[in-house]
């Protein structure tokens, strides 16, 4: 005999502000895409940091990006395996998201 507990379904979350929506694939092997959402045209910086806080690479360097959802491609093949942080600065606000790099 089997017992089944409560089942729930999560509704998709709507992104309503500036956000790093996703990193895909995650874990990353070589090429990856950062999906961002901007509520207005903004000066944007995006960089990858290791867990010690050292900047590894700039992805976007003070570019003006239009409001909306954008996919930003990057190549992670030169990164060592491990956990990294994507740091996005939008008009002075800092947002972060982790991803895993595998060989």
Is the separation of the CB atoms in 45 and 72 below 8 Å?
no
Is the separation of the CB atoms in 95 and 19 below 8 Å?
yes
Residue-level pLDDT at 72: 96
Residue-level pLDDT at 15: 52
**pTM for this predicted structure:** 0.81
Domains of the chain and any CATH numbers: 19-101 (2.60.40.1930)
Residue-level pLDDT at 5: 46
The span from the CA of 41 to the CA of 61, in Å, is 15
Residue stretches of the chain with pLDDT short of 70: 1-16
Residue-level pLDDT at 10: 47
């Amino acid at each position: 005999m089997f017992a089944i507990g409560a089942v729930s379904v999560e509704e998709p979350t709507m992104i309503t502000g500036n956000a790093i929506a996703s990193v895909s694939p995650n874990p990353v092997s070589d090429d990856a895409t950062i999906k961002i959402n901007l509520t207005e045209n903004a000066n944007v910086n995006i960089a990858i940091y290791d867990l010690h806080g050292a900047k590894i690479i700039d992805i976007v360097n003070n570019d003006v990006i239009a409001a909306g959802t954008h996919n930003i491609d990057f190549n992670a093949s030169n990164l060592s395996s491990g956990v990294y942080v994507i740091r996005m600065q939008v008009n002075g606000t800092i947002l972060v998201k982790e991803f895993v790099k595998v060989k």
